[in-house]
Homo-oligomer: A and B are copies of this chain.
């Protein structure tokens, strides 16, 4: 966490670091909504909320985790780097999603860095306290298990896509993910920079435009940040989206 972010940290009053409206927001998270109010109050006694500006680093790959974090508002990118300087974006997280519980639970260094892609408010549950709560409170352990399981399944899908689909198909999947429409045509606005999109899709930045060119034949036309998709069902069929057995 950089000093700016530290300075922006919210600290509440009355022995509970969360303001009442923050606690109410936490209670509405799909992650925690099945927990009793008493349990929720207990596990958040040491919690805090921190604001980050766009591009603020929340933590770096290799850091030892000090807290479980949940996106309250905004958007967070998880990036992985390797020794030769390559960097990729493994995931983009939206409001309501927790991040890197695996590192926090195992007390192992983060495999990814977290960066705010938009101005974001992040809930932190201190790690030691959180691990103790999970050990002692089976309701909490169960919601963590089901949440981690869902998350695990999305990573399995990503591995399958990376191994079985082309770069253009993966780019098409990303574009389809930007719209809720399932029929007809649409225009989507790219919410991320080209380098973030390339990393997310798993191609080099210099080959992203080649992947976009491939998609011209599928009715995808780029104009600055606006991308028009002529035929959503056809593009879904092209990348086999929704066609899998699962």
Binding site for B on A (CB under 8 A): 61-62, 80-84, 86-88, 90, 101-103, 105-106, 108-112, 134-138, 141-142, 144-146, 148-153, 155-160, 162-165, 199, 202, 240, 243-246
Determine whether the beta carbon of B153 is less than 8 Å from that of A103. yes
Select one of B110, B163, B243, B246 contacting A62, CB under 8 A. Answer: B246
Select one of B81, B103, B138, B160 contacting A111, CB under 8 A. Answer: B160
Select one of B81, B102, B153, B240 contacting A102, CB under 8 A. Answer: B153
Give complex CA distance A83, B240 in Å. Answer: 6
Which of A81, A134, A137, A142 has the largest count of B CB atoms less than 10 A from its CB? Answer: A142
A85 vs chain B, min Cβ distance (A): 10
Determine whether the beta carbon of B202 is less than 8 Å from that of A163. yes
Besides A87-B164, A102-B148, A134-B141, 6 new A-B residue pairs in contact (Cβ under 8 A), listed by A number: A105-B146, A106-B146, A111-B246, A145-B145, A151-B152, A162-B162
Which of A61, A141, A157 has the largest count of B CB atoms less than 10 A from its CB? Answer: A141
Determine whether the beta carbon of B202 is less than 8 Å from that of A111. no
CB contact under 8 A between A245 and B148, given known A90-B160, A138-B138, A159-B155 = no
- Across-interface contacts of A110 in B (CB, < 8 A): 246
Task: Report the nearest B residue to A102, measured CB to CB.
Answer: B149
Select one of B84, B134, B159 contacting A90, CB under 8 A. Answer: B159
A233 vs chain B, min Cβ distance (A): 14
- Across-interface contacts of A152 in B (CB, < 8 A): 102, 148, 151-152, 155
Select one of B82, B90, B138 contacting A156, CB under 8 A. Answer: B90
Determine whether the beta carbon of A82 is less than 8 Å from that of B164. yes
- Across-interface contacts of A138 in B (CB, < 8 A): 135-138, 141
Can you spell out 24 A-B residue pairs with CB atoms less than 8 angstroms apart? A62-B245, A80-B159, A81-B245, A82-B160, A82-B243, A83-B240, A86-B164, A87-B164, A102-B150, A102-B156, A103-B149, A103-B153, A111-B157, A111-B160, A134-B141, A135-B138, A136-B138, A138-B138, A138-B141, A148-B148, A148-B149, A155-B159, A158-B159, A163-B199
